[in-house]
């Protein structure tokens, strides 16, 4: 896996070790995901973690919300190890994290990170005690903690304090700004409190999630100016299908392009037709579209238009993509670097040869009224012109030979 070191505008943070994965500073932006199984169902949870990890998730979070789920954590971790899967597992705690982590020391030891939400730790009278219990367990087990606020569960005391300040302030502060300030204040205050209890600063990751793109950008920009903790990015409650994907991609791209963000997750409302791994693929595509990390060869294809003589170039693009997906598990090991390859499949002479020359390998299919032939370009030079009814097979042979010779 290549990490584009040209991302040197990445905002400097501490490095935090989560299991065997380093997050922050110049380490690659990590893709993570979350299961949606009942954690007490060990088999289903293990299967989904394996599926997410196989898809490229470098960290997987599981809900730990009751005694049964806490009891299952060690079993889940052991079964993953038996399957040669050492992906770090994060426990997601709300309301009763202090109780579950205290009552189930095996779970506290097996998890690689604890995620806590300052808004769901306890009210004024209980917050300090509960928070201290969790932090002490993290210190004892040498585990990092993500302090993750969410604007759907803002700490009431922080909010009350800011509302009081707003009443006393002559300036006209909008409610939205107040919420954003409250989110940032809540995580920074919690991090300071954790450090004062003895948690090292390189054991803290921060997140502040909102469901609105512009608010998310504001909050994370503010956070990146105020602290050096690695930032976990993600739009929360992003919604369904294409809406969620587009909003998440917009938010992540703006922030990552400004050098903000050390680990990312895309939250997609489950859809029966799609796999949970979809959220991993969206994260990977964001990073690869921004030229930060490549996971698989990129197939560049034109949208087609009135010049396209038929649908063949669309079918060819799909076949090439399918061929790559099928071969990638093997190529990853046998041909390192292949993930950085670009392949162009174009529909006519207008942009076809030009785009093909920019790619490692490109093919330009004939459009309307063009000669029935398809020039192939390799590393910017015309290599051959394909003709006949087996252009797909000929092109795949060329592609396979190029990969074998180039990525040894």
Nearer to ligand SF4 by Cβ, of 101 and 344: the residue is 344
**DSSP, res 336:** T
Total of residues contacting ligand SF4 (CB under 6 A): 13
Rounded to a whole number of angstroms, the minimum distance from the CB of residue 368 to ligand SF4 is: 9
Written as six digits, the tokens of 352 are: 């076809």
> Applying CB under 6 A, does 376 fall inside the site for ligand SF4?
no
Rounded to a whole number of angstroms, the minimum distance from the CB of residue 306 to ligand SF4 is: 7
Nearer to ligand SF4 by Cβ, of 49 and 346: the residue is 346
Contacting residue, 253, 351, 394, 406, with ligand SF4 by CB under 6 A: 351
Looking at 7-15, 41-49, 237-245, 298-306, which segment touches ligand SF4 (CB under 6 A)?
298-306
Distances (CA, A) of 255 to 56, 149, 217, 286, 351: 22, 18, 6, 11, 32
> Applying CB under 6 A, does 375 fall inside the site for ligand SF4?
no
> Applying CB under 6 A, does 347 fall inside the site for ligand SF4?
yes
Contacting residue, 305, 387, 393, 404, with ligand SF4 by CB under 6 A: 305
Nearer to ligand SF4 by Cβ, of 97 and 347: the residue is 347
> Applying CB under 6 A, does 247 fall inside the site for ligand SF4?
no
Rounded to a whole number of angstroms, the minimum distance from the CB of residue 382 to ligand SF4 is: 17
Contacting residue, 302, 359, 399, 403, with ligand SF4 by CB under 6 A: 302
Start-end of H helices in 2-154: 42-55, 67-82, 97-103, 105-110, 124-141
Q: How many Å apart are CA 98 and CA 401, to the nearest integer?
A: 58
Distances (CA, A) of 352 to 313, 314, 321, 371, 387: 11, 13, 18, 14, 16
> Applying CB under 6 A, does 213 fall inside the site for ligand SF4?
no
Region of residue 263 (left: phi > 0; alpha: psi -120 to 50; beta: else): beta
> Applying CB under 6 A, does 350 fall inside the site for ligand SF4?
yes
Contacting residue, 216, 255, 348, 374, with ligand SF4 by CB under 6 A: 348
What end-to-end distance do the CA atoms of the chain give, in Å?
A: 15
> Applying CB under 6 A, does 352 fall inside the site for ligand SF4?
yes
Which single residue is written with the structure tokens 């065997």?
20
Q: How many Å apart are CA 46 and CA 49, to the nearest integer?
A: 5
Q: How many Å apart are CA 343 and CA 299, to the nearest integer?
A: 5
**3-class secondary-structure state, position 93:** strand
Rounded to a whole number of angstroms, the minimum distance from the CB of residue 345 to ligand SF4 is: 10
Residues 6+ apart with CB under 8 A from 338: 297, 328, 331, 332, 403, 407
Looking at 72-80, 211-219, 289-297, 346-354, which segment touches ligand SF4 (CB under 6 A)?
346-354
Q: Half-sphere exposure of 165 toward its Cβ, with a 13 Å CA cutoff? A: 14
Distance of CA 164 to the CA centre of its chain: 37
**3-class secondary-structure state, position 348:** coil
> Mask of contacts with ligand SF4, 257-296, x by CB under 6 A?
----------------------------------------
Residues that bind ligand SF4 (CB under 6 A): 302-305, 307-308, 346-348, 350-352, 367
């Amino acid at each position: 896996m290549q990490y584009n070191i040209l991302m040197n505008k990445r905002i400097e943070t501490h490095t935090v070790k989560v299991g065997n994965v380093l997050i922050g500073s110049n380490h690659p932006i990590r893709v993570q995901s979350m299961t949606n199984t009942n954690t007490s169902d060990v088999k289903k949870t293990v299967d989904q973690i394996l599926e997410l990890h196989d898809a490229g998730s470098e960290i997987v979070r599981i809900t730990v919300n009751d005694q049964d789920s806490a009891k299952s954590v060690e079993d889940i971790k052991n079964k993953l190890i038996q399957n040669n899967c050492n992906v770090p597992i994060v426990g997601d705690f709300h309301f009763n994290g202090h109780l579950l982590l205290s009552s189930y020391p095996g779970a506290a030891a097996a998890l690689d990170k604890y995620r806590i939400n300052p808004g769901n730790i306890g009210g004024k009278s209980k917050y300090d005690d509960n928070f201290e219990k969790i932090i002490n367990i993290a210190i004892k087990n040498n585990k990092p903690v993500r302090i993750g606020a969410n604007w759907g569960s803002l700490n009431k005391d922080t909010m009350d304090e800011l509302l009081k300040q707003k009443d006393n302030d002559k300036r006209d502060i909008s409610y939205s700004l107040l919420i954003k300030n409250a989110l940032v204040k809540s995580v920074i205050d919690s991090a300071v409190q954790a450090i004062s209890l003895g948690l090292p600063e390189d054991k803290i990751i921060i997140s502040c999630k909102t469901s609105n793109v512009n608010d998310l950008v504001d909050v994370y920009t503010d956070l990146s100016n105020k602290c050096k903790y690695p930032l976990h990015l993600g739009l929360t409650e992003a919604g369904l299908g294409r809406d969620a994907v587009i909003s998440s991609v917009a938010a992540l791209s703006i922030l990552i392009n400004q050098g903000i963000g050390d680990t990312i997750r895309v939250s997609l409302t489950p859809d029966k037709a799609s796999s949970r791994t979809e959220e991993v693929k969206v994260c990977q595509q964001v990073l690869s579209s921004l030229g930060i990390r490549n996971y698989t060869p990129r197939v560049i294809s034109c949208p087609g238009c009135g010049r396209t003589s038929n649908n063949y170039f669309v079918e060819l693009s799909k076949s090439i993509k399918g061929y790559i997906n099928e071969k990638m598990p093997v190529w990853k090991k046998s041909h390192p670097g292949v993930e950085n390859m670009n392949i162009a499949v174009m529909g006519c002479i207008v942009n076809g040869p030009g785009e093909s020359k920019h790619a490692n390998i490109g093919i330009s299919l004939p459009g309307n009224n063009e000669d029935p032939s398809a020039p192939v370009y390799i590393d910017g030079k015309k290599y051959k012109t394909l003709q006949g009814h087996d252009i797909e097979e000929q092109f795949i042979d060329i592609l396979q030979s190029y990969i074998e010779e180039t990525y040894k």
